[in-house]
Amino acid sequence: MIYPLPAVMVSCGTSPEEYNIITIAWTGTVCTEPPMCYISVRPHRHSFNIIKDSGEFVINLTTKKLARATDWCGVRSGKKYNKFEKMNLTPEKASFVKAPLIKESPVNIECRVTEIKPLGVHHMFLAEVLGIHADEQFINKENQAFHLDKANPICYSHGKYYELGNFVGKFGFSVQKKKSGMPTGKKKPYRQEGKRLIISKSGKNRKDER
Ligand SMILES: Cc1cc2nc3c(=O)[nH]c(=O)nc-3n(C[C@H](O)[C@H](O)[C@H](O)COP(=O)(O)O)c2cc1C
């Protein structure tokens, strides 16, 4: 009943023959420093052993454009299909892990599994975030702010996919005295690589107290 949440496409596999994509809704951030997240996967999924054996995966955020692929990868198994080919998605080399990034996704999060916790029908893969790729077209060059909303992200609620709704307020607006739309913190340490940017893992001068 904890909805809405993101429906992400998790890519995995260490070679092109093994590459696969599984759609995951049971996912989230669990720690800011060190940056950590989780995905929960049922053991009979084709992706389960791939992720377990390789100890790696990539979380790819999804958009309205990717909605069909997101759903399809969540109802078809890699046992039968090459999901990259079927959905016309492009596997791209990651920086830290062997699992591929999905090029068409606006944000790719490279993860290394630190612990597998059997919970019940799902096993939770706790993972350390090694690097993040953010599509440059959504980064404001002047203030380095990342505008994921411009990528039309989708979320998942009670079996349905939705776009984001209207803007309601920003973090801390409830206690803010002066109106100010501009970010005040130092710039994030981005590292350029090809068409994309990698936000470095350390994120040293990042102020995020959530
Ligand atoms: C929106 C959505 C969310 C899903 N979330 C999860 C999840 O969190 N964990 C899980 O094990 N399966 C989840 N699934 C189901 C798998 O994605 C699905 O069984 C998929 O076909 C498995 O692919 P694979 O056999 O290639 O690994 C979800 C499916 C959809 C459509």
- HEC profile for 140-182? CCCCCCECHHHHCEEEEECCEEEECCCCCCCCCCCCCCCCCCC
69 within ligand 1 shell (Cβ under 6 A) = no
Centre of ligand 1 from the C-alpha of residue 117, in Å = 18
123 lines ligand 1 (CB under 6 A): no
pLDDT on residue 209: 56
Structure tokens at 210: 């959530």
**Please, what's the b/e burial string for 78-93 (b: 16 or more CB within 10 A of its CB; e: otherwise)?**
beebebbeebebebbe
148-198 per-position pLDDT tens digit: 999 999 999 999 999 999 999 999 999 998 765 555 555 565 665 555 666
Please, what is the end-to-end C-alpha distance for the chain in angstroms? 22
CA distance 115 to 187: 32
Question: Which protein residue's CA is at the shortest distance from atom 16 of ligand 1?
Answer: 74
pTM score of the predicted model:
0.89
Number of residues in the chain: 210
- Measuring from atom 15 of ligand 1, which residue has the nearest CA? 74
Q: Give the residue-averaged pLDDT of 62-69.
A: 98
Q: Which residue's CA is minimally distant from atom 18 of ligand 1?
A: 74
Percent of the chain topping pLDDT 90? 81
Q: What is the dihedral of CA 70, 76, 77, 81, to 10 degrees?
A: -100
Residue by residue, DSSP assigns 42-91 as -TTSHHHHHHHHH-EEEEE--BSTTHHHHHHTTTS-TTT--HHHHTT--E
Residues 111 and 99: their CA atoms lie apart, in Å, by 9
For residues 133 and 150, what is the distance between their CA atoms, to the nearest angstrom? 16
Note the pLDDT tens digit of each residue in 7-62: 999 999 999 999 999 999 999 999 999 999 999 999 999 999 999 999 999 999 99
Question: Do residues 104 and 162 make contact, with C-beta atoms less than 8 angstroms apart?
Answer: no
What is the pLDDT, as a whole number, of residue 177? 86
Query: Is residue 54 in contact with ligand 1, taking CB distance under 6 Å?
Result: no
| Cis-peptide, bond into residue 153, ω within 30° of zero | no
Which residue in 96, 78, 79, 95 sits closest to 87, CA to CA? 78
